[in-house]
Structure 1
């Protein structure tokens, strides 16, 4: 089993947070101060991303297995789970196995039609390649509000607001992640496998209405049909990765799930 790099803060019931493709545990940092008084927050790097070593085969399903193994190895008794994008589907599938006491998915993948899935794959793949090609020029480009807006509108609803340091770390995290290409290719087969234990626990799906990567209007509607008993929340003004757009609102979504 690959050991997952993790960051822990706070005390209370365990809350495991799982990032999206090309991301890392630090994407949840804007929420930590608000969550740490109520949860033991455990933010992880999935295998092949951030500080965690890669798997022999990196797919959405193998990453879900790795998360399940991590939960067992850490002795976590049905923690709360929170995930974003690819991490959203991973946490939903892990919760369906009975591994969670609640699950919150922010803009999860898997609720697309074929054009939506292809758009997501192509957009992310091209963005990563552009980041790789630009390389040394990235700090100057992302040092301007205009550059951050152009480069990061896929993931942030208000990209001009993030700091140049966060912007650079976001792009570099995707460029440097060895698990990115194979995980992205596996999106073709990524889906919610079964409802299972999701019918027995609190489930929340939160979607930013400025999400242009997994389009809010269509994909959040499909999520409502597939998970009619879940709590569905619109994060007004937020994008695909909403934690910098609305940290207070995102933290409240997780706190209200208890």
Structure 2
């Protein structure tokens, strides 16, 4: 594990106004539609990248970071099954979600990509990179939801026993029906951001639209509970013998990897990013004192600089840490 290097701020193309959500369209793979948003590259030599969102999120979680990376990357962001504008999935295990990402990468035939995952998308990306190294150039993990067994370390910990119930999704739907969009929005923002008041107004509007979408999609409660159940199950399995452990899979990753964590993360144990960086052979770590669970939204510039630092480090080791 190495300390992450930050590229100079001058490498960033900072927009005068915040970018709008990137356009996209559904693609049909194995009879199921997956919605993909695309961020056009600004460089002729841009390399392919794929962004994978976290639990309850969507491809729109990458609007700003994808803009900052567009000089180097031809970016795509997918909605995982059951989220955003994608069809629901048959299963919501980490293995099933990773298989959807793998199938999309095979279908798109873009060659190995720079893979970026946040939270649930981080654990999914670990599995993809560990099992299919031929599909991954570099790996960036933002607050990856890797296994930890202390429920007190997560605001969602108290729901862990609940999601194992057979009809938990029905109870979740009933609970959602008792909450207003405003209440749900306030709860999500409080849990995900270190400084909810510092979130730009446009991003608050975008986040609220995401909440409204959840209320309009009948399959959302089942997708959310199913993915949370998949995470809980993967956490328990990680400490048992067998090749399915996410920690064992992480040890197999060969791609250069950047791990980013926020010291105010309320959803993933703040000790996890360092543990992940120690396990993955070629890794570098960046902990942000002023970020929560979604640093790519809260601090997109410094996340972009860290990614650029990793990319530049692959070309030349002469960057000076800051």
* TM tier relative to shorter chain: 0.7 to 0.9
Indicate whether 1:156 and 2:209 are aligned. no
Indicate whether 1:165 and 2:210 are aligned. no
Q: Tell me, in whole angstroms, the C-alpha distance in 2 between the residues paired with 1:173 and 1:93.
A: 28
Larger radius of gyration: 2
Query: What SS does structure 2 have at the residue aligned with 1:154?
Result: helix
Quick one: structure 1 residues 31 and 71, their matched pair in 2 at CA, closer, same or farther if it must change by over 3 Å?
A: same
Match of 2:268 in 1: 214
Indicate whether 1:63 and 2:93 are aligned. no
Give TM-score, length-normalised by structure 1. 0.85
Q: Tell me, in whole angstroms, the C-alpha distance in 1 between the residues paired with 2:189 and 2:299.
A: 16
Runs (5+) with no aligned partner, structure 1 = none
- TM-superposed deviation, 1:42: 0.4
Of 76-85 and 125-134, deviating more is 125-134
Q: Tell me, in whole angstroms, the C-alpha distance in 2 between the residues paired with 1:80 and 1:134.
A: 38
Quick one: structure 1 residues 123 and 244, their matched pair in 2 at CA, closer, same or farther if it must change by over 3 Å?
A: farther
Query: What SS does structure 2 have at the residue aligned with 1:101?
Result: strand
Match of 2:10 in 1: none
- TM-superposed deviation, 1:227: 2.9
Indicate whether 1:111 and 2:111 are aligned. no
Match of 1:133 in 2: 178
Q: Superposed, which structure 2 residues align to 1:83-94 within 5 Å?
A: 83-94=117-128
Superposed CA offset, 1:39-94 (max 9, x none): 00101101111011011111111000010000000002110100000000111110
Quick one: structure 1 residues 36 and 229, their matched pair in 2 at CA, closer, same or farther if it must change by over 3 Å?
A: closer
1:20 corresponds, among 44, 51, 54, to 54
Match of 1:245 in 2: 298
Kept in 2, the 8 Å contact 1:22–1:49? The answer is: yes
Match of 1:182 in 2: 226
Quick one: structure 1 residues 128 and 245, their matched pair in 2 at CA, closer, same or farther if it must change by over 3 Å?
A: farther
Kept in 1, the 8 Å contact 2:154–2:269? The answer is: no
Kept in 1, the 8 Å contact 2:261–2:293? The answer is: yes
Kept in 1, the 8 Å contact 2:126–2:249? The answer is: no
Match of 2:109 in 1: 75
Quick one: structure 1 residues 35 and 224, their matched pair in 2 at CA, closer, same or farther if it must change by over 3 Å?
A: closer
1:254 corresponds, among 289, 304, 307, to 307
> RMSD of the alignment, in Å?
2.7
Paired residues, number: 248
- TM-superposed deviation, 1:212: 1.5
Kept in 2, the 8 Å contact 1:45–1:51? The answer is: yes
